[in-house]
A and B are shown apart, each in its own frame.
Chain A
Amino acid sequence: MTVTTEVSSATAGGVSDVAPRPRRSRRSSAHIAFLAPFLVLFLLFFLIPIGYAVYESLFKKQVSGLGLAPPTTKFAGLSNYSAVFGTASFIHGIERVLLFGIVQVPVMLVFATVLALLIDSVAARFTRFFRLAFFLPYGIPGVIAAILWSFLYLPSLSPIDSVLKSLHFGSISFLGAHTVLWSIANIVTWEYTGYNMLIIFAGLQAIPRELFESARVDGASELKIAMRIKLPLVVPSLVLTSVFSIIGTLQLFSEPQVLRAISTNIVSTYTPNLSAYNQAFTLNDPNLAAAMAVVLAVGTFILSFAFLRLTSRRSIAR
């Protein structure tokens, strides 16, 4: 490794003496040419749709009297945004997903980290099999996962319920007003633990093995290696999975949408995404839905970056 770099730098130095440096303008136009495919797609499929949503969120449809004439679309300024923040159900939805995230994300990441550490440990057998097995739930589409779990939750069909009943433990209401959020959390944890585990495991694999060897030579136990060496070095992966999870939490949609069919305790504004969806497609107010979507996107952005700032500051301090 070191040898090759020396050689290549030597030759590079030799070449640079001979070859004239390319002119600046040509270089920058080459940059643009290479960047163009990305920039065009980024513009077309990211910036323009977002810009259009923001634009739509500034308008409002108005009728008058009995409303027999077609509605007129008029500029509404920020009134859709004040309506979004004035809608108690939307705010409750945000509070609900925040509560969900505060509990579910740490639980899931602890599981994922423990599983990754177990698979990464020297004593682990059948590593490949377990890696795949833990990852498998992620391969099942969220909607299907929610349907599968709904069978386990429904009181009249649930085997869990009938086992508990036969053991005289009474029955658990998985779909009750206070429990259904955690039933959803359970589905999400089941789905995404394996996925996060894989990212953390990849982070662990990237740590130079020499570190562990020297630790072992110094007499560190496997547990100590995991806590003192592996965990600190895998922090970047943990940050990454945390950010993904925070984004995923705020966008919670398919699981509550599926469970709505069987639970009487999931309202149409249960999560912010569900609110925006219903606003656009059942209540026929795309402008207000656009405002909700923008608010949600900005909120996600702020939370994710606040988390990144927080974690990077901590690592600098250390």
Chain B
Amino acid sequence: MNSIVGKDHVRAPRPRKRKKIAVGGVAAASLIMLASCGSSSKSASSSATTAPAASGGTAAPTTAYSGPTVNLTFWSWVPGIAASVNLWNQTHPNIHVTLDEVTSGAAGTYAKMFSSLQAGNAPDLGQVEYYALPQFEHTGGLMNIAPYGAASVQSDFVPWTWSQVTLGSAVYAIPQDTGPMALFYRADLFKKYGLTVPTTWAQYQADAQKLHAANPNAYIGAFSPADTGQFAGLAWQAGANWFNTTSNSWVVNINDAATQKVANYWQNLVSNHLVKVEADFANGWYKDLSDGTLLTWPSAVWGENTIVTNAASTSGDWSVAPLPNWGSTSADGNWGGSTTVVFKDSKHPAQATQFAEWLNTNQQSITSLITKGGLYPADLTGEQQSAVNSPVAFYGNQNIWSVFESGGKLVNTSFKWGPIMFTTLTDMGNAFSKATGGSGTLASSIATTQSQTVSAMKSQGFSVQTAG
């Protein structure tokens, strides 16, 4: 339910079931990890999560805390995360974490977080999606946890996720899960219509035309104007760099060449009725996924469960291919995913950091997040767990995970989100809706979003430059 969504910020929450079936090997894997990470890490060499603080002299090293019991509060909406928290509480008697199960960020929890930060009573820890991180970071809401040894876990994570949680030498969050993108496609219908699985976006368009000529009621895919999370992922793949920072100023470049290229491409598909314009994650869209109206869905790894849950009748019909590329360079985009942050007023930042690291690198905790929460881990070792690295019956016994795993390694590490992303994505979604409704184009929407974001940032006092 969480992580997913670059889009929930503009929508009411939708119940989205994300169950996964634990495959046998998980139990074995977790037993091994239990051995290495169990009992409140007394031994100096215990696990990667408890490496001593990098910079000397700051806080006490996070290993083997044995002082008086510390109480931490944690706001999260990941289903079943309580199991991980319980495991922590059992193995770390001196650091008790109280979990507050909240509604997903964009459905109100972010608003609650911002107001409690203002009131000075924010929890110690919280769940924050990547796209929302800068907004917390750049309103002074997050604790820099680098002094507490957070930098030591960098090598545990998929590279792009680490660049999302850092600013210079400061570390503002620990990555939890990711949404590398790929192309879900109906293998059976591709065969029926004689289509080739596209490796480039040009081929994708050729397939769209061929399909539409063969059956005017079938489409290669859907374009959901309000789903700016998906669009952002596609722009990210094309090499967009929407935001950057200099030493004291933001550089806003949403209207860059890569984004224009993606916008023009989809505008062309929309104008020629080669894709169906409809809201995704809605009943009509689920029906179209089930009945062969839509043949592909460029989506993130968690989309696997969306199809399994909402198009159950198509079992065995879907396959996964890498996201089509622009020309010959291979690249991928990311859609969704979230992190664990320590809020600025935490009285126990060292212990909170230790928990955040443990939650997202301890293999037993990750197993639980995968199987109960439906997350695809940002932790490199976690990506090898059998629950996310074995054939899936629904997808014709394809090991779809390997496609996403290699995709995740191709995600551009320099892409940055901006400090008022809720506004930017809402404006973009509104402009896209108007464009597909007949006024303007996707490309002009991007230009509008750029100027709206710049003026909104300026009015809030940010120092802004626009890239030439």
Residues of A bordering B, CB below 8 Å: 61-71, 83, 89, 150-151, 154-157, 176-177, 257-258, 260-269, 278, 280-284, 286
* Closest beta carbon of chain B to A265's beta carbon, Å: 5
- 26 A–B contact pairs at CB < 8 A? A61-B460, A63-B138, A65-B463, A66-B245, A67-B139, A67-B462, A70-B139, A70-B140, A71-B140, A71-B460, A154-B283, A155-B284, A258-B12, A261-B11, A262-B279, A264-B226, A264-B278, A265-B433, A265-B437, A267-B430, A267-B433, A268-B429, A281-B111, A282-B110, A284-B135, A284-B422
Q: Given contacts A177-B438, A266-B433, list 17 more A-B pairs with CB under 8 A.
A: A62-B460, A62-B461, A63-B462, A65-B463, A67-B461, A67-B462, A70-B139, A71-B139, A154-B283, A157-B287, A260-B226, A261-B11, A264-B224, A264-B226, A264-B433, A264-B436, A282-B422
Nearest-neighbour CB distance to chain B for A95, whole angstroms, equals 15
A175 to chain B, nearest CB (A): 9
Contacts of B426 in A (CB 8 A): 268, 278, 282-283
**Closest Cβ–Cβ distance, residue A312 to chain B (whole Å):** 41
Residues of B within 8 A of A151 (CB): 283
A66 to chain B: which residues have CB within 8 Å?
Answer: 138, 245, 248-250, 419, 462-463
| Interface residue from B11, B287, B438 paired with A156 (Cβ < 8 Å) | B287
Docked pose: A164 CA to B140 CA in angstroms: 57
Q: Is the interface of A mostly helix, strand, loop or mixed?
A: loop
Residue-wise, chain B 1-44 has the 8 Å CB interface mask toward A (1 for contact) of 00000000111101000000000000000000000000000000
A66, A151, A257, A280 interface centre (most CB from chain B within 10 Å): A66
A282–B106 touching, CB < 8 Å = yes
* Closest chain A residue to B246, Cβ basis: A66
Complex CA–CA separation, A174 to B436 (angstroms): 16
- Assuming the A-B contacts A260-B11, A267-B430, are A156 and B110 also in contact, with contact meaning beta carbons closer than 8 angstroms in the complex? no
The list of the 10 closest CB pairs from A to B, nearest first, reads: A177-B437, A70-B140, A67-B138, A267-B430, A62-B461, A262-B282, A154-B284, A156-B284, A156-B287, A63-B461
The reply to whether B10 and A268 form a contact with Cβ atoms under 8 Å apart is: yes
What residues make up the interface of B, taking CB atoms closer than 8 Å to A?
Answer: 9-12, 14, 106, 108, 110-111, 114-115, 117, 135, 137-141, 224-226, 245, 248-250, 277-279, 281-284, 287-288, 291, 293, 344, 419-420, 422-423, 426, 429-430, 433-434, 436-438, 459-463
**Cα–Cα, bound, A263→B285 (Å):** 11
Instruction: Compute how far the CA of A257 lies from the CA of B226 in the bound complex, rounded to whole angstroms.
Output: 13
| Residue of A63, A64, A286 with most chain B CB atoms under a 10 A cut-off | A63
CB neighbours (8 Å) of A70 from chain B are 117, 139-141, 344
User: Which one, A67, A157, A266, A268, contacts B419 given CB within 8 A?
Assistant: A67
With a cutoff of 8 Å between Cβ atoms, the chain A residues found around residue B278 in the complex are: 264
A58 CB to closest chain B CB (Å) equals: 16
Asked, given contacts A63-B461, A64-B463, A284-B111, whether A69 binds B140 with beta carbons under 8 Å apart, the answer is: yes
- In Å, the complex CA distance between A19 and B26 comes to 92
Distance between B168 CB and nearest chain A CB, rounded to angstroms = 10
A65, A67, A281 pick with most chain B CB within 10 angstroms: A67
* Closest beta carbon of chain A to B329's beta carbon, Å: 32
Contacts of A150 in B (CB 8 A): 283
B225 interface neighbour in A63, A65, A264, A269, Cβ under 8 Å = A264
A186 CB, min distance to chain B CBs, angstroms: 18
Report the minimum CB–CB distance from A69 to chain B (whole Å).
Answer: 5
Identity of the chain B residue whose Cβ is nearest the Cβ of A63 in the assembled complex: B461
Contacts of A278 in B (CB 8 A): 10, 426
| Distance to closest chain B CB from A204 (angstroms) | 40
Q: Is the CB of B287 within 8 A of A264?
A: no
Measured in the bound complex, the distance between the Cα atoms of B284 and A152 in whole Å is 11
CB < 8 Å: which of B138, B423, B434 contacts A267?
B434
Q: Give the residues in chain B near A282, CB-CB below 8 Å.
A: 9-10, 106, 110-111, 422, 426
Instruction: Give chain A residues whose Cβ lies under 8 Å from the Cβ of B283.
Output: 150-151, 154, 156-157, 262
- Kindly list chain B residues whose C-beta atoms are within 8 Å of the C-beta of A68: 137-138, 140
A286 to B118, CA, bound (A): 12
